[in-house]
Amino acid sequence: MAARSGFVTRFPFANWLTPRTDRGAFAAEAVADRALVHQLRAELATRDVELEEARREAQEAWSARREFLAAMNHELRTPLNAILGFGQLLEMSPLGDEQRDSLRHVLRGGRHLLLLVNELLEISQLDAGSLELSPEPVNIGDLLLELRDLAHPLAAERSIALDMPGDGATGASVRADRHRLKQVLLNLLSNAIKFNHAGGRVAVLVSSTSATRVRIAVSDTGPGLSPEQASRLFAPFERLDATNKGIEGTGLGLTLCRGLVSQMGGTIGVDSTQGQGATFWVELSMAEVTSPTIVEVPADTPHDVTGQPAPCLVLHIEDNSTNLLLIERLLATRTGVTVMAAMQGRLGLDLAREHKPGLILLDLNLPDTHGLEVLRSLAADARTAGIPVVIVSAAATPGQTRRARALGARAVLAKPLDVAQFMTVVDSLLTRM
């Protein structure tokens, strides 16, 4: 009997050999198992409901964050457009030395605040995953030529020698968002110049770190960094001793650079020895070699507009009265230009169809309809399809810019306005009439 019990223990399928009392116990266990299965299924169903609710709440929070960022972008840029716009307008007027010095402080403070707003918003968009990037093959040689022209004036002020690859010296291409990579490298170059010794040197070196990776390194002959300083360098608002040295900045540039490079699938870092300068580098994935970008300029586009435009009506569709006044005063410097204002999109469409202006300046955030819908309606109407439209908006993100261009906008200008750029665009379009 003992042998048979051992057999049953080792081989459960032999339950039929056990007494009736043992079979009853197995039946009870089966019932308990089924109850446990039902309980687990109920718990899993509850867990699924909880997960779906958490996912929905996260989606709502993400959407709310995007809306908040968009609203903050508009609300912060709108007053800055007035501060910097009217400041630049005053800069064009005859002023005394003391007044001009005061205005210089106003403009410098406004531009510093604009830089801070831009970087804070971009970092927030990176964190929220809502910053739009457009990866493409970017020829490093072409990009460095542009950067050399941009960095040269700053380097000349401090007698810093720029050692950058010459024409055609770098044929490598990387996979990146061209605008954002330019932003990152310009930040590194600017820092290398600002934190350098007067009369020092900045060098850019491009090399391959593997069969698929390219490194762009920016080296300087400045004071260098200690290991402790290097460890804090990419933290937000970390400026080390830059404030004490009178070096302007927000403390967010390198934080933003790190986020942008990471979004482009790359890495960024620094190698430095205190007293021996620093080398900041960016590594990105290699892309196919591309030909230099050639921008064709239409034959009727003036390279240097010095004359006054022909008499012309400009329709400005904008809901902010301060921005309307700024544009009106800017265009008052142009002989023969009259400005007509519309504070709603639909009213702007009616005025455009009735008066057929020579140029339309269009905001995107309008109270009754989105500016892109206005642009679409203008392009679809034979009466207004030929009128050049320039977008002037605080919401001129890369994505909005692409959409506006696809709908026929001649130019997209971001607020706060660069007055010189604005006047150049307007003059070039009005002189074609």
Query: pLDDT tens digits for the chain (433 residues)?
Result: 454 455 445 545 445 445 555 666 667 777 777 778 888 888 888 888 888 888 777 666 656 666 666 667 777 777 888 888 888 888 888 888 888 888 888 888 887 777 777 777 777 777 766 677 888 898 898 889 888 888 888 888 889 999 887 655 567 889 998 888 988 998 899 889 988 988 999 999 999 888 899 999 999 999 888 888 888 887 765 656 554 455 555 567 788 889 889 989 999 999 988 888 999 999 999 986 544 333 333 333 333 333 444 458 999 999 888 889 899 999 998 888 999 999 999 999 999 999 999 999 999 988 889 999 999 999 999 999 999 999 998 877 777 888 999 999 999 998 888 888 999 999 989 876 5
Q: Letter for the amino acid at 39?
A: Q
Q: Report whether 202 contacts 163 (CB < 8 A).
A: yes
Domain 18-131, CATH:
1.10.287.130
Q: Report whether 422 contacts 330 (CB < 8 A).
A: yes
Q: Report whether 240 contacts 233 (CB < 8 A).
A: yes
CA 409 from chain center: how many Å? 20
Closest to 386 in 3D by CA, of 411, 354, 408: 408
Closest to 291 in 3D by CA, of 138, 118, 116, 119: 138
Domain ranges of the chain: 18-131, 135-287, 312-430
Residues 6 or more apart whose Cβ sits within 8 Å of residue 413: 390, 391, 392, 393, 396, 421, 422, 425
In this structure, what DSSP letter does residue 264 have? Answer: T
Residues paired with residue 393 on neighbouring β-strands, in sequence order:
414
Q: Report whether 336 contacts 288 (CB < 8 A).
A: no
CATH pick for 135-287 out of 3.90.245.10, 3.30.565.10, 2.40.170.20, 1.10.3210.10: 3.30.565.10
Name the maximum alpha-carbon separation found in the chain.
118
Domain 312-430, CATH:
3.40.50.2300
Same fold, 18-131 and 312-430: no
Run of H or E including 259: helix 253-263
What is the structure's pLDDT at 16?
Answer: 47
Residue 348 phi, psi (nearest 5): -60, -40
CA distances from 95 to 104, 331, 418 (A): 11, 20, 20
Residues 6 or more apart whose Cβ sits within 8 Å of residue 190: 151, 154
Give the β-pairing of 359-362 and 389-393.
Answer: parallel
What is the structure's pLDDT at 149?
Answer: 85
Give the β-pairing of 213-220 and 278-287.
Answer: antiparallel
Residues paired with residue 287 on neighbouring β-strands, in sequence order:
173
**Predicted structure pTM score:** 0.54
Residue 141 phi, psi (nearest 5): -60, -45
What is the structure's pLDDT at 375?
Answer: 95
Q: Report whether 405 contacts 73 (CB < 8 A).
A: no
What is the structure's pLDDT at 298?
Answer: 39
What is the structure's pLDDT at 387?
Answer: 93
